[in-house]
Amino acid sequence: MKYFLGFLTLLVGLNTQAQKKQVYQIFKANGKKTSYKKLLKAAQKADMVFFGEEHDNPVAHWFELELTKDLYKTVGKKLVLGAEMMETDNQQQVDAYLKDSIDYKKLKKTARLWPNFKTDYKALMDFAKKHELRFIATNVPRRYASKVYHGGFKALDTLPSDEKKWIAPLPIQYDAELSQYKKMLEMMGGHGGENLPKAQALKDATMAYNILKNYQKGQLFLHYNGSYHSNFKQGIIWYLKQQKPDLKIVTIDVETQDNLKKLNKKHLNKADFIIVVNKDFPRSY
């Protein structure tokens, strides 16, 4: 990520030079161009901010780190970080790393880190460590999502009670008519059947549950997740709203286009702010 950050520093500067090689453009939900300054201002007023990334997009990871730094300047210790990329049963290892009880080598050995953790997410966790912020592992352990994929929600009923603490409380509320879940089935051509979006719903429900469990009024919870988990304010946010409908939530989405002058219609209303990255910008893996 250090390589990309240096590269981005050079290229992002070009955004200030009209009509030259542009790396990104920020749009509002309605497709109107906006600025990072306005995005930051909206995020500062929120209870929760969901950064919906493309996992292999280095511009997204750079923005995540910059937004984290800028929000910390405003709210300080009231900032709480959380991530889809860490699973609930690895919270102990995360906390140990934040307290310097274990080093990165031990964290890598004992926690199920994503392959791109070191390049794309370690900087976020290290920021939390440096400033003594909480970093919450919100996602369901993948083995339980796999159970649902193969056996539906009923497969969770047989879990021992000490394992159920890693997932959202049962039964899992589920709305099969949400457009994102329906689209998931369409994208997969029906592969996996109705259990595919249910496995996704388990992740969404568990992330929402852990976010609420670790949030207190007056804090600002910044969550990093794949955009599909928060686009159209569905996924995680749908579950949050079932419990706390008055939460002030700001969503961010990252997309790629070959033309940065206008937001593609298919991306309208995906989030409060859509960061569009030049499609020719290199991916991180």
CA distances from 98 to 23, 64, 118, 172, 214 (A): 33, 19, 15, 31, 16
Question: Do residues 116 and 1 make contact, with C-beta atoms less than 8 angstroms apart?
Answer: no
Architecture of domain 22-142+208-278: 3-Layer(aba) Sandwich (3.40)
Asked if pLDDT for residue 83 goes beyond 70, the answer is yes
**Percent of all residues in the chain with a pLDDT value above 90, rounded to a whole number:** 88
CA distances from 262 to 252, 269, 282 (A): 17, 14, 21
Average pLDDT estimate for 11-16: 52
- Mind listing the pLDDT tens digit for each residue in 104-122? 999 999 999 999 999 999 9
Using the Cα atoms of residue 37, residue 42, residue 45 and residue 47 in order, give the sign of their dihedral: negative
**Is 80 exceeded by the pLDDT of residue 211?**
yes
Give the model's pLDDT for residue 6.
52
Question: Is residue 47 very low, low, confident or very high in pLDDT (cuts 50, 70, 90)?
Answer: very high
- Mean pLDDT along residues 77-91: 98
Binning pLDDT at 50, 70 and 90, where does residue 187 land? confident
Predicted local confidence at residue 190, as pLDDT: 59
pLDDT at 225 over 70: yes
Rounded mean pLDDT, 55-80 = 98
Smallest CA-to-CA distance from 285 within 119, 167, 141 is with 119
Contacts of 78 (CB under 8 A, 6+ apart): 218, 219, 220
Mean predicted lDDT score pLDDT of the chain? 93
Q: Is 30 helix (H, G, I), strand (E, B) or coil?
A: coil
Confidence of residue 15 (pLDDT cuts 50, 70, 90): low
Average pLDDT over every residue of 42-49? 98
Other C-beta atoms within 10 Å of 142: how many? 13
Examine residue 169 and say whether the peptide bond preceding it is cis (omega within 30 degrees of 0).
Answer: no
Q: Which of 283, 216, 226, 221 is nearest to 252 (CA)?
A: 226
Residue 193 pLDDT grade (very low, low, confident, very high; cuts 50, 70, 90): confident
Which of the 8 DSSP states describes residue 41? H
DSSP secondary structure code for residue 82 in this structure: E
Q: What is the reported pLDDT for 3?
A: 47
Chain centroid to CA 111: how far? 19
